[in-house]
Structure 1
Amino acid sequence: MISSASGAPAAAGAPVATAAGSDDAPLPALEWKFSQVFGERAIGEEVQEVDIISAIEFDKTGEHLATGDRGGRVVLFERTDGRDQRTRRELERADFVGPRHPEYRYSTEFQSHEPEFDYLKSLEIEEKINKIRWCQTANAAQFLLSTNDKTIKLWKVTEKKLKQVKSLNLDSGAIQRNGNAMANSMVLNTKGFAPRLSMNGVAVNRPIPFISPDFAFPPGGFPSLHLPALWSNETALVARCRKVYANAHAYHINSISNNSDCETFISADDLRINLWNIEVNDQSFNIVDIKPTNMEDLTEVITSAEFHPNHCNILAYSSSKGSIRLIDMRQSALCDRHSKLFEETEPPGARSFFTEIIASISDIKFARGGRYILSRDYMTLKLWDVNMESVPVATFKVHEHLRPKLYDLYENDSIFDKFECCLSGDGMRVATGSYSNLFRVFGATSGSEEASTLEASKTPNRRVMATPSKPGSRLANLARGRRDNRRGSENPGPDLNGGVHDFTSKLLHLAWHPAANLIACAASNSLYMYYA
């Protein structure tokens, strides 16, 4: 399943082995097992459009996981396996305490974006979360960036103690003993309110009872009369929006990426890339602009952009023509000239009507060290060495079996689906999604033939065709425009295992844990996790 770079097979193999950190025999294939699922739907349950997951991201430590959906919500999960819940006696009885795979639990959720309307352009702006990126932590707080098509927001998530009023004046026993006259004379003070924190951290006003002027204290008074007190025994996570970065993009934002300097980040749309200071939300710098003077001369659009993990002056962006450009911000303020261009030359006579469409890169990722770039186009995954621009060091065929069906895929817009890709923390393996809720894992070491096909379900190795669901929304392509002619849903065809394709069940979003062999996959509204 792995084809080395054409024309230089010997030279292409060595860098891949270097990426994995070993020139020895290839590692054995991993055995993937089901770990957890969140939001699993019942058989026959209809999934709401707003509940479909549209973004997944681990933080750098792997202790937290964030997902965004089409309804504009961000859901956070935290790792729990590090806190062993077993008692000391149970641990002493255990013969061997082996390493545990990462496990997560639901932490909190908040509404990040709301639907908007651009009155100048008469355009509806969806609340769908396109990307999520974790930022540098400060103290115990967590910071993350989330974006929809037009607006980026910086969120701060902290723990807050929930305060409640304890012993509000008289206790119940005193009220019962001295009660009827006292109870009848107690009225609500409509002007006096005591603020308290609700479960979501929002201050609400609570009316304070007071004694009517007509009330006379009985002889001996009330021995239980005392001042109310505040106490707290619970904590809750509270998300607050700290910055809003708006009005900087004329086209839909497809990428955001944090810089290694922990001070800046980039946002990319179809034609421009902007550089932001995370503390300044009313000003950005346009560093890449590919918009032609005449829009009729437009030949390509930006599809993804990513900062180098170590060098704060280097970033890469991909285009719909299948090329990746590496730029150095030290060369000029406007990076209209690239430092390196990664583009594979097609053999003569191989071009067709679909060549440019399937060559469009939907996602790129830097490996941890920054020497390798993983790219995903419609048909393949490609691993590029930043020191070799002409050909990728390895090509992983994902949808080669769909090549005879390109016309049908074009007619039902499936050919424009944007699949994401990810790498393991050690760079030894890569993964990406496919149709019928399948995802594929490949070995990236030299000579490795690992190619696992798994299904996003509780039995990942079963690879059984799922029941067709409601067709998803169409994806527009800026360079080609939106087409109004639509055929019916695609007729199922044989999948990798001789089964049937379901082009409406697609696994577009997945993420790899930065330090463990754990993959999180989004299948519609469900989040599945697998470990090896």
Structure 2
Amino acid sequence: MNGGDEVVAAPVDPPQPLEWKFSQVFGERTAGEEVQEVDIISAIEFDKTGDHLATGDRGGRVVLFERTDTKDHGGSRRDLERLDYPISRHPEFRYKTEFQSHEPEFDYLKSLEIEEKINKIRWCQTANGALFLLSTNDKTIKFWKVQEKKIKKISDMNLDSSKAVGNCSVASSSNSLSPRPYLANGGCPDRSYSSLSNELSFPPGGIPSLRLPMVVASHETSLVARCRRVYAHAHDYHINSISNNSDGETFISADDLRINLWNLEISNQSFNIVDVKPANMEDLTEVITSAEFHPSHCNMLGYSSSKGSIRLIDLRQSALCDSHAKLFEEPEPAGTRSFFTEIIASISDIKFGKDGRYILSRDYMTLKLWDINMDSGPVSTFQVHEYLRPKLCDLYENDSIFDKFECCLSGDGLRVATGSYSNLFRVFGSSPGSTEATTLEASKNPMRRQVQAPSRPSRSLSSSLTRVVRRGAESPGVDANGNSFDFTTKLLHLAWHPTCALNIEVQKWLPESMRKQPDFVPGFW
């Protein structure tokens, strides 16, 4: 300050309300069309650049989509920003390729069927133009490489026909008695390199005018997915999370009782870094529900439990992280405990913010935003579907209370989102004191309800802890305030584009009839 002038900090304006606009859709089913169980999406993930989108389904398939709107402008986003070229179009994704990631298996030692359903997908660092990603079902993790392969064919043989043996421009085939004509200068029409040796019969002494190298031209390209590593036989319970480390070399996988640390290049060995299994299983009181690495600190990771707590651990403390560095849990209000308290407190998903400062958690009823520097309680709590609280008994009877909803943050960290029932998802402003709350329906025609056949998810240890009986059937209804709740249509999986603030990708189903179309576009809100 000079001359006693005061410097007043400018007030921080709250984020402006977003204008939500429908842009693309995966596949709207027609009236009377049945949805196959294997076509329902079970995992969805953008890569860090936002240029690629991966989805996994209950049939064990992984489908990749590629962003095309930036290519239409003739350059990358960075190039367009350098040229100050305005980008007015919404992000557009088109079908890239697909592959079968997992197959159904049977564990004969435990007499247990292993579903092929994809639980999680995580993108890895790209290299040499190839895409790398991890996918997992309940027991096995696979490391995939997707790369373009060029198909090459010979366009010029470098053969001077005037100097050929017998002064003839034809060569006899070893597999046919009829001569095969060649183009000028030895060009062979429509012949591939692999079939060359079977088509030519060279005279004794060779052809003096034939010299190398021959001219080989690329005619077309095809995408090839190859499984580089298989990480198996390391989990006794169902894998609920995988997460890449910021070092680009390691990742973790978590089940109900253990978290294992893997090296991407080593598939036959992992290190158990967290083990909450008690000596006597009858003493088990909580299980691990989700785990994720810190986005920038390779030594830190967080995991959540069925009791509603989040533990932050530091891998530098010990090889087996029995003790946590920080514990985040909200004290239970006095006099509010009921039979459902522990069930709805179970955290189904956690996500770190892009800068690693905040952790977003989703339990059954709420979203909570935690500051890693403040473990006394969440900085914000968002009510997702509070109107269902009087219906907890019904939710328990039809198993809906055990649904695992995921959550996500926008790339700028100003908004958070999660799914609900009746094809709805909710978006909240994450700034302290923000009152922004938006409810949107994930449907091309918001007035038309899409009812899918209810499915029974496979039981995990976490749901068995508090499960006593199961009865009743899922059914839609309306509460006294007119809020609809259709338990058969629910949005469990969301992924927010890392750079675009106006769009959210949500779970839809992808019918097999549309899966092969090269110009098919996914759902995008």
Same fold (TM over 0.5): yes
Question: How do 1:254-333 residues align onto structure 2 when only pairs under 5 Å count?
Answer: 254-333=240-319
| Other-structure match for 1:101 | 90
Report the Cα offset of residue 230 of structure 1. 5.9
Q: Which amino acid aligns with 1:322?
A: G
2:350 paired residue among 361, 364, 373? 364
TM-aligned CA distance change 1:136 to 1:111, over 3 Å: same
- Name the SS for the 1:381 alignment partner: strand
Render the CA deviation track for 1:376-407: whole Å, top value 9, x for unaligned.
00000000011111210000000211000001
Q: Output one character per residue of 1:350-387: Cα deviation in whole Å (capped at 9) or x when no partner.
A: 00000000000000000011110000000000000111
| d(CA) in 1 for partners of 2:147, 2:245 | 23
CA deviation map 1:450-502 (0-9, x unaligned): 1111111124xx4x361422112235241452969543433322279825321
When residues 498 and 197 of structure 1 are mapped into structure 2, their CA distance, relative to the original with a 3 A threshold, is farther
CA distance in 2, matches of 1:411, 1:107: 42
| 1:529 aligned onto 2:495 | no
2:27 is aligned to 39
2:63 to 75, 99, 106: 75
Write the letter of the residue equivalent to 2:26. Answer: F
Equivalent residue in structure 1 for 2:395, among 384, 409, 413: 409
Residue 24 of structure 1, CA deviation: 1.7
1:516 paired residue number: 500
Residues 523 and 184 from structure 1, CA distance in 2 versus in 1: closer, same or farther, beyond 3 angstroms?
Answer: closer
The 1:495/1:25 distance shift into structure 2, 3 A limit, reads farther
Q: Which residue of 2 aligns with 1:345?
A: 331
Q: Contact between 1:28 and 1:450, CA under 8 Å: does it hold in 2?
A: no
Q: Aligned partner of 1:523: which letter?
A: K
The count of aligned residue pairs is 466
Query: Compared with structure 1, are the counterparts of its residues 501 and 206 closer, same or farther at alpha carbon in structure 2 (3 Å cutoff)?
Result: farther
Question: Which residue pairs with 2:435 in the alignment?
Answer: 449
Does structure 1 residue 507 correspond to structure 2 residue 491? Answer: yes
Contact 1:64–1:79 (CA under 8 A) maintained in structure 2: yes
Q: Report the CA distance shift for 1:257/1:83 in structure 2 as closer, same or farther (over 3 A).
A: same
Structure 2 counterpart of 1:466: 449
Hey, what's the Cα distance between the residues in 2 that align with 1:452 and 1:495? 20
Task: Kindly indicate whether residue 232 of structure 2 is the aligned counterpart of residue 246 of structure 1.
Answer: yes
Over 3 Å counting, the alpha-carbon distance change for 1:206 and 1:288 in structure 2 is farther
Give the number of the structure with larger relative contact order, counting CA–CA contacts within 8 Å between residues 6 or more apart.
1
Q: Which amino acid aligns with 1:395?
A: T
Q: Pick from 454, 468, 471: which aligns with 1:487?
A: 471
Q: Give matches, 1:42-121, under 5 Å.
A: 42-84=30-72, 97-121=86-110
Go from structure 1 to structure 2 and tell me whether the alpha carbon gap of 1:355 and 1:207 turns closer, same or farther (over 3 Å shift). Answer: farther
- Runs (4+) off by over 4 Å: 164-168, 182-187, 203-211, 228-231, 482-486
Cα contact 1:253–1:269 (8 A) shared by 2:
yes
1:391 match? 377
Q: Extract unaligned runs of 5+ from structure 1.
A: 1-21, 87-95, 169-177, 188-195, 212-227
* Bigger Cα displacement from structure 2, 98-107 vs 47-56: 98-107
- Structure 1 SS opposite 2:391: helix
| Aligned-residue offset at 1:447 | 2.5
Question: Structure 1 CA distance, aligned partners of 2:176 and 2:399?
Answer: 71
Shift of 1:27: 1.9
Aligned partner of residue 490 in structure 1, secondary structure: coil
Specify whether residues 450 and 410 from structure 1 end up closer, same or farther in structure 2 by C-alpha distance, changes over 3 A only. same
Are the equivalent residues in 2 in contact too, given 1:465–1:500 (CA < 8 A)? no
User: Residue 146 in 1 paired to residue 135 in 2?
Assistant: yes
Aligned AA (1:492): P
Aligned mates of 2:266, 2:243 — CA distance in 1: 16
Report percent identity of matched pairs: 71
1:161 touches 1:236 (CA, 8 Å); kept in 2?
Answer: yes
**RMSD of the alignment, in Å?**
3.3
Distance 1:197 1:315 in 2: 56
Q: How does 1:225-236 map to 2 (within 5 A)?
A: 231-236=217-222
Whether the 8 Å CA contact 1:465–1:501 is kept in 2: the answer is no
Deviation at 1:235, TM superposition (A): 1.2
Larger strand share, 1 or 2:
1
Specify the SS of the correspondent of 1:481.
helix
Q: Does 1:160 align with 2:161?
A: no
Contact 2:27-2:508 within 8 A present in 1 as well: no
2:115 pairs with 1:126: yes
Structure 2 unpaired stretches of 5+:
1-9, 75-84, 158-169, 180-189, 202-213, 512-521
Residue 183 of structure 1 and its aligned partner are, at CA, apart by 11
Distance 1:77 1:263, change over 3 A: same
Q: 2:341 aligned with 1:355, yes or no?
A: yes
Partner Cα distance (2:191, 2:41) in 1:
31
Aligned to 1:190: none
CA distance in structure 1 between the partners assigned to 2:266 and 2:372 by the alignment: 32
Which AA in structure 2 matches 1:347?
A: P
Rounded Cα–Cα distance in structure 2 between residues aligned with 1:384 and 1:477:
27
- Structure 1 counterpart SS, 2:312: strand
Q: Secondary structure at the match of 2:393?
A: helix
| Kept after mapping to 2: 8 A contact 1:161/1:235 | yes
Deviation at 1:167, TM superposition (A): 10
Shift of 1:438: 0.8
Q: Do the aligned residues in 1 keep the contact of 2:122 with 2:243 (CA within 8 Å)?
A: yes
Deviations 1:115-135 (A, max 9, x none): 111110011111111101111
- Contact 2:175 2:198 survives alignment (8 Å): no
Amino acid at match of 2:117: K
Q: CA deviation at 1:44?
A: 1.9
The equivalent residue for 1:91 is none
> Which residue of structure 1 lines up, in the alignment, with residue 79 of structure 2?
none
Q: CA 1:431–1:330 in structure 2 vs 1: closer, same or farther (change >3 Å)?
A: same
Does the 8 A contact of 2:253 with 2:259 survive in 1?
A: yes
Q: Which moved more, 1:265-274 or 1:155-164?
A: 155-164
Amino acid at match of 1:529: F
CA–CA distance in structure 2, aligned partners of residues 266 and 369 of structure 1: 20
Instruction: Tell me, yes or no, if the aligned pair for 1:141 and 1:158 is still in contact at 8 Å.
Output: yes
Work out whether residues 75 and 110 of structure 1, in 8 Å CA contact, stay in contact via their aligned partners in 2.
Answer: yes
SS in 2 for 1:36: coil
Q: TM-score, normalised on structure 1?
A: 0.81
1:84 CA drift (Å): 2.4
How far is 1:31 from its partner? 1.3
Conserved? CA contact 2:28–2:444, under 8 Å: no
